[in-house]
Structure 1
Amino acid sequence: MNHSSVTELQSNPSARANLGSSLTESATASTAHDLEICEVSKQFGSLKVLENIDLRVKAGEFIAIMGPSGCGKTTLLRIIAGLEGMTSGEIRLQEKDITALSVHQRNTPMVWQSFALFPHLNVQQNIAFGLTLMTHRKAEVKRKVREIAAMMHLEPLLDRRISQLSGGQKQRVAIARALITEPKILLLDEPMSALDPHLRVRMQGELKRLQQSLGISFIYVTHNQNEAFSMADRVVVMNGGRIEQVGTPAEIYSRPATHFVAEFVGNNNLFDGEVISVSPDRVTVRCPQGTMQALWREQPHQVGDRVTIVVPAERVALASTEGSVENRLENKIDATLRGFEFMGSQVIYFLETDTGYEVRMIRQEALDHTLAVPINSRLQLVWKTQDTVLLGERIQ
């Protein structure tokens, strides 16, 4: 898929007249939700794989589900597709209960990590495969294949064998095969993991533009944060078979709701401590690394409470010259520079406090503008109170 394919989808009436229009009409039905996952649980014997999963997907929404390996995200996708049964719960697709329906009755196709294309069939036959399972005339199948091939910019490749395709071309064929059945929702299980990094970045934008043009809901499973944040309208973070947080990429990144999300997403520094004073808008916390202030927004805290202060690494700065703005910030700790990692447009600095705790600081700068101080230099780190997030006591 490339920019020209999406442009053609948007501007070419013949390519979109039938397939694209029907997909959009399906997505803009009267229901406010394309998918409702209600208290879904899954057990294998005594092992709880999913526990009380509750999620609503709005019409035409791009949802990314991410989490560590084994958190249950792929199992959830398989349950939605009908490939896996559930222990309890209910799934509704555009207000219709599909819990007991078979995979072929749901029309919730899945694009796999391996693409799952048939090597003995050419591109045209792979795309048409979903229609061969239904009752369609040959002329209609041929017309639909041409339409989706034009949409996905695959027309020159229709007679090629799968072994002759690049990774990006295989992905386009897999998506075309899923879309040709005019699904109400499309499920994608880490479909870019087999692509090289450069192609993966390019495909992210193309996939998002395709989803917006079609107007149907995508549910996209990934362990890659960049993929989730760049494409999704909302992100679901899972851990241990449960949903930890659901929110926009900005909400997930800047306001983690749990310790797991704070540690899993972004580059956050977490400081455990005890509340020593409370004012109307902020809390003062004594931590082993020093006394810190944080804003509280959702729940009040009392003196003596155990809490965790979350500070994004990109919000940490250096106290520099006398009288500078940084020197007037409320939060300050001393640390020793132990090393740095060049990441292209930014540099991650690793520092160590007197208690042996690692603190990370991120600066947007080129390599030739890295800190002009030697390793093992003593530095003072500062940050704004409003740049902190306050969580309850960490559960070990």
Structure 2
Amino acid sequence: MATNNANNDVVLDGVTKQFGNVVAVDDLDLYVEQGSFLTLLGPSGCGKTTTLRMIAGFEEQTEGTITIADEDVSSVAPYSRPTSMVFQSYALFPHKTVGENVAFGLKMRDVSKEERQRRAEEMLELVSLGGYQDRSIDELSGGQQQRVALARALITEPTILLLDEPLGALDMKLREEMQVELKNLQNQLGTTFVYVTHDQEEALTMSDYIAVMNDGDVEQVGTATEIYEEPETRFVADFIGDTNLIDGRYQTRGSEALVVWGNIEIPVKDTDGFSDGESVTVSIRPEKIHLTGDDPRLSGAVDDVIYQGNTMKIHIDIDGQTLVVEEHVERIDELPTIGEEVSMTWDDTQTKLFRNSTDE
């Protein structure tokens, strides 16, 4: 996880943004390591785009400071910051050629025509659009237009490339292809990327670090593995991927720690700081639970089976609570049937325990 050190390209220190009485970003501290790919991930309205726009200078923070490459840019105009931005709409000029679109930033910097053309051609080669410089924008597909927008943003050699859901307008297959291409491009250039998305899979695929945002603040920053496998809050566990959330009471019995829910007892390993009788939530990922006849933790009746090709999701009713189990499909004729009684087991270390906010 990024911390405040000399290797950070971006530092947000106590940054707050208010729109009237609405606090969009609340006393945010965030550090972006040099050469890293950081994704701001969260639901609509969590403050991620506002944070990106403050880094770019398109929004002025109400409080706090923003430092880029060791320079306080809190009051610096957008065009004077070492940043470029790629928007979801691409914002390309329809009356200009591909090459003219890419070279536009250099023209604004009074770079010579010959140098603009040379660098635009090099940048188009980098984004796999070599030879496209004389084409019009309306001749390009959505994926090609996205590459032009990237080339235009990168040609000025920014310290930070800011990307606001740039793949949102693409279909799923092209979006997945561009995720890989975008990450490969970032690795090749070594430029620091700050990327905004609400798509969890996109964030997990591309990011060196993910900052999960909620209600104007960051709930957790970590690698994709850390965010998914070791969520620090109930919100992060619930937002990233699928999980089963079971509310109950914390209870110890000798050396054993349990979450008690009705007549059900679930062994847990996360025990530090919890008190007997405390209201808690246990999280178990569907793929961590397995159907078994050996040493079952819980049993229940199959409520639904969702076939997804190589995997299936089985909804199991246990005293009115639905648990979802994800299993690989070996044979179609072995799929569970509705109403069938099944047993489940899992490794206790795969449970994550959270204190309910009502108890804080």
Q: TM-score, normalised by structure 2?
A: 0.94
Query: Is the 1:268–1:311 Cα contact (8 Å) retained in structure 2?
Result: yes
Distance (whole Å) between structure 2 residues aligned to residue 87 and residue 370 of structure 1: 60
Shift of 1:135: 2.3
The equivalent of 1:104 in structure 2 is 79
- Select which of 340, 348, 361 maps to 2:325: 361
Aligned structure 1 segments of 4 or more residues deviating by more than 6 angstroms: none
- Select which of 34, 41, 44 maps to 1:66: 41
Q: What does 1:328-367 align with in structure 2 at a 5 Å threshold?
A: 328=295, 332-354=297-319, 356-365=320-329
Query: Is the 1:289–1:333 Cα contact (8 Å) retained in structure 2?
Result: no
Query: Is the 2:305–2:337 Cα contact (8 Å) retained in structure 1?
Result: no
Matched to 1:224, the amino acid is: D
Distance (whole Å) between structure 2 residues aligned to residue 262 and residue 393 of structure 1: 13
Shift of 1:198: 0.8
| Range with bigger deviation, 95-104 or 267-276 | 267-276
The equivalent of 2:114 in structure 1 is 139
Between the two proteins, the alignment pairs up a number of residues equal to 355
Q: Percent identity?
A: 39
The equivalent of 1:294 in structure 2 is 268
Structure 2 residue runs of 5 or longer lacking an equivalent are: none
1:243-262 deviation line (CA, Å, top 9, x unaligned):
11111111111111111111
Distance (whole Å) between structure 1 residues aligned to residue 357 and residue 225 of structure 2: 23
Distance (whole Å) between structure 2 residues aligned to residue 384 and residue 259 of structure 1: 20
- Select which of 376, 389, 395 maps to 2:339: 376
1:213 lines up with 2:180 in the alignment? no
Query: Is the 2:287–2:326 Cα contact (8 Å) retained in structure 1?
Result: yes
Distance (whole Å) between structure 1 residues aligned to residue 322 and residue 295 of structure 2: 24
- Select which of 373, 383, 388 maps to 2:351: 388
- Select which of 277, 282, 285 maps to 1:312: 285
Query: Is the 1:348–1:363 Cα contact (8 Å) retained in structure 2?
Result: yes
Go from structure 1 to structure 2 and tell me whether the alpha carbon gap of 1:289 and 1:123 turns closer, same or farther (over 3 Å shift): farther
1:206-226 deviation line (CA, Å, top 9, x unaligned):
111110010111111111111
The equivalent of 2:19 in structure 1 is 44
Distance (whole Å) between structure 2 residues aligned to residue 142 and residue 276 of structure 1: 70
Distance (whole Å) between structure 2 residues aligned to residue 279 and residue 117 of structure 1: 66
The equivalent of 1:13 in structure 2 is none
Query: Is the 2:84–2:161 Cα contact (8 Å) retained in structure 1?
Result: yes
Q: What does 1:190-201 align with in structure 2 at a 5 Å threshold?
A: 190-201=165-176
Query: Is the 1:283–1:301 Cα contact (8 Å) retained in structure 2?
Result: no
- Select which of 265, 276, 279 maps to 1:303: 276
1:77 lines up with 2:52 in the alignment? yes
Query: Is the 1:308–1:394 Cα contact (8 Å) retained in structure 2?
Result: no
Distance (whole Å) between structure 1 residues aligned to residue 357 and residue 298 of structure 2: 21
Shift of 1:328: 2.7
Structure 1 residue runs of 5 or longer lacking an equivalent are: 1-29, 321-326
Go from structure 1 to structure 2 and tell me whether the alpha carbon gap of 1:111 and 1:289 turns closer, same or farther (over 3 Å shift): farther
Secondary structure in 1 matching 2:356: coil
* Alpha-carbon RMSD: 1.8
Secondary structure in 2 matching 1:109: strand
Matched to 2:159, the amino acid is: K
Distance (whole Å) between structure 1 residues aligned to residue 8 and residue 190 of structure 2: 13
The equivalent of 2:210 in structure 1 is 235
Go from structure 1 to structure 2 and tell me whether the alpha carbon gap of 1:31 and 1:303 turns closer, same or farther (over 3 Å shift): closer
Secondary structure in 1 matching 2:83: coil
Distance (whole Å) between structure 2 residues aligned to residue 385 and residue 353 of structure 1: 19
